[in-house]
Amino acid sequence: MDPTIAKGQPGRDQLIFPLDVPDLATAESWVKRLAPWVGTFKVGLELFSAAGPAAVERLVDVSGTRVFLDLKFHDIPATVERAARAVSRLAGVRFLTVIAGGGEEMLRGAIRGAGDEIRILGVTRLTSRPADPASVVAVARGAVEAGCPGLVCSGAEVAAVREAVGAAIELVCPGVRPPGADAGDQVRVAGVAETIAAGADFLVVGRPIRDASEPERSAEAICDEIRVALELRANSGE
């Protein structure tokens, strides 16, 4: 794929890269390297703990895109609402995660606090632990009933979750592994094309890109594979 690829390009739009790195300088260098193939950069616990909210705004500037803030809030409803409101004062946050099992009141608080600009994603079950699809679907339904516009689940159960929650809910899948990639600490893993075919809107792919001998080529290949899978999905009438 042409690295000058325009924004709004299928493949790139769906690919999320987690900036699981220890400092802002390293994060910025990854953003610059991967921006041609990555539509959204994710800031998680490591980078947020190290570099703080200012880093989020800096990365929005550097990438020219809104970021995914993966802080997996899980606390009493009032605390989560206030924390989400604090996040809403940062410029350029697209998604914010909360633990879906934290309960309906907590999810409603997160949604209220985050306001209209930020989409709350309910994390159903961590992809690093075993979970049966029925229990993931039950948590997913509860989160959607509480008003979550999106969910995080693994490729292993995304088809079941999609069927349960319908087409309008955004589904984000981590634990994606291209063929031959090391699963690392992820347990519920699935391939790129199969996860898109099963109904995912976004894929989070970290170590298979970061640890590749040529990360740009890995990102490009994943981006291409997503685009082809989207075309197949569209042609199959999904």
Query: Nearer Cβ to ligand C5P, position 21 or 111?
Result: 21
Residues 11-50 that bind ligand C5P (CB under 6 A): 18, 20, 44
Among 113, 133, 174, 199, binds ligand C5P (CB under 6 A): 174
Q: How far is the CB of 164 from ligand C5P (least distance, A)?
A: 17
Query: Could you give the CA distance from residue 155 to residue 160 in angstroms, rounded to a whole number?
Result: 10
Our finding on whether 113 is near ligand C5P (CB under 6 A) is: no
Query: Could you give the CA distance from residue 43 to residue 48 in angstroms, rounded to a whole number?
Result: 6
Our finding on whether 96 is near ligand C5P (CB under 6 A) is: no
Our finding on whether 161 is near ligand C5P (CB under 6 A) is: no
Query: Could you give the CA distance from residue 9 to residue 197 in angstroms, rounded to a whole number?
Result: 18
The closest residue (CB) to ligand C5P is 206
Among 14, 40, 63, 127, binds ligand C5P (CB under 6 A): 127
Measured torsion, CA atoms of residues 65, 66, 72, 73, in degrees rounded to the nearest 10: 160
Tell me which amino acid residue 42 is.
Answer: K
Residues 75-94 that bind ligand C5P (CB under 6 A): none
Q: How far is the CB of 225 from ligand C5P (least distance, A)?
A: 15
Our finding on whether 199 is near ligand C5P (CB under 6 A) is: no
CA end-to-end distance (rounded Å), the chain:
25
Query: Nearer Cβ to ligand C5P, position 186 or 218?
Result: 186
Based on C-alpha coordinates, what's the Rg of the chain?
17
Tell me which amino acid residue 68 is.
Answer: F
Active site residue 72: yes
Q: Is 171 in a helix, a strand, or coil? A: strand
CB-based contacts of 81: which residues, under 8 Å, 6+ apart?
A: 109, 110, 112, 113
Tell me which amino acid residue 7 is.
Answer: K
Closest CA to 117 of 140, 76, 85, 146: 85
| Contact pattern for ligand C5P over residues 204 through 223, marking x by CB under 6 A | xxxx----------------
Closest CA to 67 of 94, 46, 89: 94
Query: Nearer Cβ to ligand C5P, position 18 or 199?
Result: 18
Binding segment for ligand C5P (CB under 6 A), chosen from 7-15, 103-111, 121-129, 229-237, is 121-129
Q: Which residues bind to ligand C5P, rule: CB under 6 A?
A: 18, 20, 44, 70, 123, 126-127, 152, 174-175, 184, 186, 204-207
Name the residues annotated as catalytic: 72
